[in-house]
A and B are shown apart, each in its own frame.
Chain A
């Protein structure tokens, strides 16, 4: 009897959990919503790329999100490049390809944003940059985002989307979790507001660090939120897990998310929360 096949499967926890959600927004005219399975006419997704039936937010690029979310945005840290610390075969090529596909230097877009007159620091992870995985540049950009916000007395809003720590950068990816956490702590100690907005999918080392460290944690409808991947749990525990285990609804029911907010409401909600949580930044 094998209750717990730890050595064989445990470490795969950073694998992305649900493959079918990977499909990009409209390639065909009709597409199936990966969450409610309804067929959706691509034009009905609208500018927010959401399912008209269940409000699931399809995976979109960082730049697309910044377009409808902010009134102005000035990018930071776009010159950073990974040092490829493991000298990992073909990694440089993979980075190159991802950079071209996303117009980003790594898996997060960071900068100074404005909604109306409110200025804040904004980070948006991009699920299309190697699954939003967190490498050294991702961690560095987010750390600098918090450091800048602390220095300038500003709030941070961070949209997460990640398969977890990036394997090609090994232990250095893991270290980002501690590094970013330090910066979040400094920012928090300064009495400043951190709003984390979880999007589909957020897993592994990102869930186990800054996604869950916000003063307020929002989620998009039906975002997958987890630590271990579904496949890892099933292989390790030899049990089928319920379809909705890591759905935002279930995660909120268990107490780990403050509210689920649809994309079309996010701009107003964020503006309101920034105002409500000014604290020292407002003095």
Chain B
């Protein structure tokens, strides 16, 4: 049995970063992932999906805006888009719990995924969250159940499901939208089982050791790419427009590749992708 991951063979992106950066520490990447200047979910939608139409509601009794979901065209075909958004204005940020989805958000996104499957639309998800919303209300509304059902249903959804982590990929709250066929990370992003602060405070009883924790945790795009947790890294130049161009340039051929597979092949490949861990 090999629980340790084999390194992946030749699946790196061919795009070269426009601004080659010096080797950064994990803590610097964490800071960049959380940067206030980070592209917002709304900007991503505007740039990549100009005809996006938002669809609201979980059809149970709620609509949580921290995941924005809807329909758009991408490279000529209809797709379903899901974006975890931290918000921009103060009011917006509070409504979106600073990008921490409540259960209703995961139920809405799952509803839209099932709809995408019905109409053979691929799903493109964009993740930037410190984690699922940690509130008493979220507990009573079944945060665990909501995430669990995303994992269960997306396991064999019959359309391509691609995810881009473009800031923070915080734990189960991120995984709920990152359990499909391919996961890409932007250069300034992180993906981890919990925050470096939480990690340091639990394991070393000292939250101030978060920089050290970040190094140990292997949460950088490079480390995760090497481990085969993600498909590759999307260069993140200093303008949001260029960044969005890079996203399009990566997702387009990947989507075409996945669309050539039968739904059985697609699901089998997705299963194998996670089975190796």
Contact = CB atoms under 8 A, between A and B. Distances in A.
Given A181-B148, A185-B156, A228 B132 contact: yes
A239 interface: yes
Given A14-B202, A170-B193, A177 B175 contact: yes
A205 interface: yes
A84 to B, nearest CB: 9
Contact of B217 (A12, A86, A179, A233): A86
B15 interface: no
A4 interface: yes
A210 B148 contact: yes
Give the interface centre of A3, A85, A174 by most chain B CB atoms within 10 Å: A174
Contacts of A176: 277
The 7 closest A-B pairs by CB, nearest first: A11-B195, A11-B198, A207-B144, A11-B194, A228-B134, A12-B198, A181-B151
Contacts of B3: 80, 82-83, 85, 136-137, 140, 172
Interface of B: 1-5, 34, 94, 97-98, 100, 130-132, 134-136, 138-145, 147-149, 151-152, 155-156, 170-172, 175-176, 179, 191-199, 201-203, 207, 216-219, 224, 227, 229, 270-271, 274-275, 277
Contact of A15 (B2, B143, B193, B202): B202
B155 A8 contact: no
Interface of A: 3-4, 6-15, 80, 82-83, 85-86, 88-89, 136-137, 139-140, 143, 165, 167-179, 181-182, 184-186, 188-189, 204-205, 207-213, 225-228, 232-233, 236-237, 239, 241-242, 245-246, 250-251, 254-256
Nearest to A228: B134
B148 A167 contact: no
A13 B5 contact: no
Contact of B131 (A10, A143, A189): A10
Contacts of A185: 152, 155-156
A86 to B, nearest CB: 6
A250 B140 contact: yes
7 contacts: A7-B195, A140-B3, A171-B229, A179-B275, A182-B275, A233-B136, A254-B141
Nearest to B180: A178
A109 to B, nearest CB: 18
Contact of A167 (B143, B144, B199): B199
Contact of B171 (A13, A211, A255): A13
Nearest to A15: B202
A95 to B, nearest CB: 13
A182 B267 CA distance: 10
Contacts of A210: 148
